[in-house]
Amino acid sequence: MTHPSNNPSSESEAPAAEPAPAQSPEAEANPPAPDQDPHVSGYVLSRWLWTGYLKKHTWALVAAFLLMSLEGSMLGALSWMMKPMFDTVFIEGQTGAIGWVGAAILGIFIVRALASIGQKALLARVSQMNAADLRNDLLTKLMRQDGTFHQTHPPGFLIQRIQADVAAVNGVWSAILTGAGRDLIALVILMGVAITVDWRWTLVALIGAPILVAPSIIVQRFVRARSREARDLGARLAVRLDEIFHGIVPVKLNRLEDYQARQYAQQTDELVRAEIRSTLGTAAIPGMIDIMAGVGFLGVLIFGGAEIISGEKTVGEFMAFFTAIGFAFEPLRRLGSVSGTWQVAAAALERIKELLEIKPTLVSPSNPVAAPAGMPGVSLRDVHLSYGETPVLNGLTLEAKAGQTTAFVGASGAGKSTVFNLLTRLVDPNSGHIEVGGVPVGAMTLEDLRNFFSVVSQDAALFDETLRENILLGRTDVSDARLQEVLDAAHVTDFVQHLPKGLDTEVGPRGSNLSGGQRQRVAIARALLRDTPILLLDEATSALDAKSEAVVQQALDKLAQGRTTLVIAHRLSTVRNADNIVVMDRGRAVDQGSHEELLARGGLYAHLHDLQFRTDGRSADRMALAEARNQTRRRGEVADAEDAGFFRRAFLRLFG
Ligand SMILES: Nc1ncnc2c1ncn2[C@@H]1O[C@H](COP(=O)(O)OP(=O)(O)O)[C@@H](O)[C@H]1O
Ligand SMILES: [Mg+2]
């Protein structure tokens, strides 16, 4: 992976401290407002681009530069040939000179053409490879960013950065190099020819040049600001498109088409305006050079015309001068527009550099300890976590014993999923201790830590590939027999056999060709293949209908065998067999025990259970509940059990 050398951070060098998510540098990562000027100088940007990306192509670039210089210098040679063409051939009438003058001019054009083809081929190669490097680096870095980063940088925004911004950068440095190589060289040589003919004429021709300096600086600022605006608007549009297409079903069902189209059109409008302004600015500089050229020619004609008429200068000399200056304005115009193009690219480059330089805080420690062996248990001690000002966990303490099934119940928002995120280090706590197999989660490498877990949640992230690819996920070491075993255990075989292409069926974007239950079974097959010691089930069956739930539950039971399993479930019927049930309420474990113990205690769990039994009317639960009631009533502990208000409160707490 290429690394800008002035940014030598690597994953393992960052501290493994426990940063408060709220204070992470993520605040700086927020897309800056369009009109802010972060003032990254052109020098810094080009040096960064050079050391990180272009340097390794030095030889190709030197070769391209030489070819460009050759191409550029041919214009000087051509204008120089005007002198013999006019003076020797036309005016002196030496017919014999036609041959060599013509041959020389033909040769000049041929050299120019070949040099031009060569340098363009070299540049295309370097610029494409460079763009690919930038894109690969961006993707690699962005995937490693913290969860908080991805919350503030939606997918569309990042896609736009990787695709469009890199494309915007890509053209520019080759334009700059061409400018410096071909156009600057051409300019110098053409000026040399002009000065050789008459330095005073040259001065007159360029008289307008200094006047251009101030306006061109203003124009450049303007272009930079407008293109920054355009880049940000582009990213916002990409975000909107991404959200519309991802949410196409709700868009249709809520008949939001017109609304979305209006919003989009409005933002596109702004983008169009910013782009037009930026292009106008870019065009302004060559335009100004044109006007300057006109003034210069006028000056030379007035000033030099008399000298030719009086015979002080030959027509050939005037033609050489005139051609040289005429040719010179073209590279000058291009150089003028390069500065505008650079401003556009600099705006994109700034954004890319910003993204690449944000350091993730959730990284592996610099001196990781070895991952613990054996069946690991899990424990949290006095864990506090808040998102910004909002406390989510308030001194959570709990334990999930090795090889057992621990269930989590509690209202939505109680912090159950957060526990899973802490264990897998998708987020770090503000304080407290979290251990897996007796080792603090922050002490292992992220890779080792995540190798402990398989997660099955409501969202089985499927990719737009075949079913087989979605299950194997790049693994090549799985035998057909093992795969079949996994497919059977996960009940994938049940539906695969009805698919015309079997395992080679494309599942569609995000698995949209499969049903919810089928997607879950694919996720279970993946987890079986991963064969990790700890299993995290986050409402894996909540979104399913009763029939698919039953099948998925069977598969899950098989998956849980011989593992430490943590399961979050809404339906108490799925957790009643757990070895231990943790009842969570507002970021704390308020109670724990077995199903029977918790029922007997008559707390939140019992009320929740009562509620679900009323809704579900399951006879087994009813019997268990009646039994528990009798027990508790005997002890007189649930005096307010019949309080309807309490039920409502409990329901709201448990189901949000
Ligand atoms: N990334 C986040 N940023 C801000 N708040 C969050 C984030 N993730 C979760 N929360 C908040 O933390 C609380 C607990 O969330 P969660 O653990 O998902 O609850 P549960 O899984 O029990 O329903 C909720 O109030 C939720 O709004
Ligand atoms: Mg949750």
Domain segments of the chain: what residues? 43-357, 378-593, 594-656
Identify the burial level of 519 via C-beta atoms within 10 angstroms of its C-beta, where 0-12 means exposed, 13-18 middle and 19 or more buried.
Answer: buried
Which tokens sit at 536?
């995290």
Average predicted confidence (pLDDT) for the chain: 82
Ligand nearest to the Cα of 392, by number: 1
Contact 243, 159 (CB under 8 A): no
Residue 654 in contact with ligand 1 by CB distance below 6 A: no
Distance 523 CA to ligand 1 centre (A): 23
- Going from the C-alpha of 481 to that of each of 133, 466, 487, 533, 537, the distances in angstroms are 40, 19, 10, 22, 26
Ligand nearest to the Cα of 151, by number: 1
Residues with CB under 5 Å of ion ligand 2 are 417
Residue 413 in contact with ligand 1 by CB distance below 6 A: yes
556-583 CB burial, b ≥16 within 10 A, e <16: beebbeebbbbbbbbbbbbbbebebbbb
Domain 378-593 top-level CATH class: alpha beta
Q: How much of the chain, in percent, has pLDDT values that exceed 90?
A: 28
Residue pLDDT, tens place only, 18-70: 333 333 333 333 443 333 445 577 788 888 888 888 899 999 999 998 998 89
Residue 417 in contact with ligand 1 by CB distance below 6 A: yes
Distance 1 CA to ligand 2 centre (A): 36
Q: Highest mean pLDDT range out of 22-31, 400-409, 511-520, 545-554?
A: 400-409
Distance 417 CA to ligand 1 centre (A): 7
CA-nearest residue, atom 16 of ligand 1 = 415
- When the candidates are 1.10.1740.10, 3.10.300.10, 3.10.20.70, 1.20.1560.10, the CATH number that belongs to 43-357 is 1.20.1560.10
Work out which ligand 1 atom sits closest to the CA atom of 419.
17
Residue 414 in contact with ligand 1 by CB distance below 6 A: yes
Residue pLDDT, tens place only, 586-635: 899 999 998 888 888 888 888 888 877 665 445 455 555 555 555 544 44
The predicted pLDDT at position 174 comes to 75
* Cα dihedral: 638, 642, 643, 647 (round 10): 90
Work out which ligand 1 atom sits closest to the CA atom of 538.
21
Work out which ligand 1 atom sits closest to the CA atom of 656.
23
Ligand nearest to the Cα of 421, by number: 1
- Going from the C-alpha of 365 to that of each of 23, 113, 501, the distances in angstroms are 19, 57, 46
Residue pLDDT, tens place only, 344-355: 888 888 888 888
Ligand nearest to the Cα of 540, by number: 2
Mutate to test the pocket of ligand 1, among 362, 385, 387, 585 (most ligand atoms within 8 A of CB): 387
Model confidence at 511: pLDDT above 60: yes
